[in-house]
């Protein structure tokens, strides 16, 4: 029974992380531009699958805790277990923020590049928190040497040490890379259009006059 629960737990985690990384790669390739209708549908489908996987993880994880506490009196004394619960709680709360705040802005008509400073920061930070939290939670699931050896605060310190740089990198990318690049591309398009209009105007001004027809004055 325990093996079956672990198997379901593992499959749910693999599906969630796989879908998450694929969507992160897709969003990275868009460069913050407005998403197509197909990309929006895929993003919503992926978010629904991750939500289902998260519910399966909570359910199977709770069963594992109950089963482990019944068979091992020291099971609940494992501080790594409670660190994993804390990380999963963070990614669950962050997932709610992603669903209600970040996703509507990512799929908006302006894309990420059209958002304000605070919105860009929030979208980048929630995305980084989601990726790091999922990966770290999966790592804790296989880090058996940490059982009954690493205290809760040390595990969480490692988690925060990974989380903060990821958020900084994501915010720097959104503000310092995507924003200026899109602004530069927009200015280049405007400049190209202005040059084209100037060229068309000059051609019109310099166009030769119509030849004078003498017979047009004859009766």
Burial class (CB in 10 A: 0-12, 13-18, 19+), 25: exposed
Q: What is the pLDDT of residue 7?
A: 93
Q: What is the pLDDT of residue 212?
A: 46
Q: What is the pLDDT of residue 206?
A: 56
Q: What is the pLDDT of residue 194?
A: 45
At CA 150, angle to CA 131 and CA 61, rounded to 5? 55
Q: What is the pLDDT of residue 108?
A: 85
Q: What is the pLDDT of residue 26?
A: 80
DSSP structural state of residue 100 = I
Is 23 in contact with 46 (CB distance < 8 Å)?
yes
pTM: 0.78
Is 165 in contact with 172 (CB distance < 8 Å)?
no
Q: What is the pLDDT of residue 177?
A: 74
Residue written as tokens 């990275």? 28
State how far the Cα of 81 lies from the Cα of 137, in Å rounded to an integer.
Answer: 10
Q: What is the pLDDT of residue 219?
A: 42
Is 35 in contact with 43 (CB distance < 8 Å)?
yes
Q: Quick check: helix, strand or coil at residue 45?
A: helix
Q: What is the pLDDT of residue 164?
A: 96
Q: What is the pLDDT of residue 69?
A: 92
Phi-psi region of 32 (alpha: psi -120 to 50; beta: other; left: phi over 0): left
Tens-digit pLDDT profile for the chain (219 aa)? 788 999 999 999 999 999 998 888 888 777 777 888 888 888 888 889 999 999 999 999 999 999 999 988 899 999 999 999 999 999 999 999 998 999 888 888 888 888 888 999 999 999 999 999 999 999 999 999 999 999 999 999 999 999 999 999 999 988 887 755 454 444 444 445 445 455 555 555 555 555 544 454 444
State how far the Cα of 132 lies from the Cα of 62, in Å rounded to an integer.
Answer: 22
Helices 79-97 and 37-71 meet at what angle, rounded to 10? 160
């Amino acid at each position: 029974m325990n093996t079956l629960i672990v198997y379901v737990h593992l499959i749910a985690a693999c599906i969630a992380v796989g879908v998450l990384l694929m969507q992160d790669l897709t969003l990275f390739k868009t460069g913050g531009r407005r998403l197509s209708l197909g990309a929006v549908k895929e993003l919503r489908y992926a978010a629904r699958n991750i939500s289902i996987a998260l519910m399966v993880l909570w359910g199977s994880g709770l069963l594992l805790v109950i089963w482990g506490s019944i068979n091992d009196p020291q099971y609940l004394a494992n501080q790594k277990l409670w660190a994993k619960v804390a990380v999963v709680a963070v990614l669950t709360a962050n997932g709610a923020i992603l669903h209600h705040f970040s996703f509507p802005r990512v799929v908006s008509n302006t894309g990420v590049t059209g958002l304000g400073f605070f919105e860009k920061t929030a979208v980048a930070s929630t995305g980084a928190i989601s990726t790091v939290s999922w990966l770290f939670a999966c790592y804790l699931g296989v880090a058996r040497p940490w059982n009954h050896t690493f205290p809760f605060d040390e595990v969480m310190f490692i988690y925060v040490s990974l989380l903060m740089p990821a958020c900084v990198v994501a915010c720097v990318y959104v503000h310092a890379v995507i924003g200026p690049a899109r602004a530069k591309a927009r200015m280049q398009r405007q400049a190209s259009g202005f040059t084209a209009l100037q060229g068309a105007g000059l051609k019109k001004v310099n166009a030769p006059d119509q030849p004078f027809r003498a017979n047009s004055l004859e009766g």
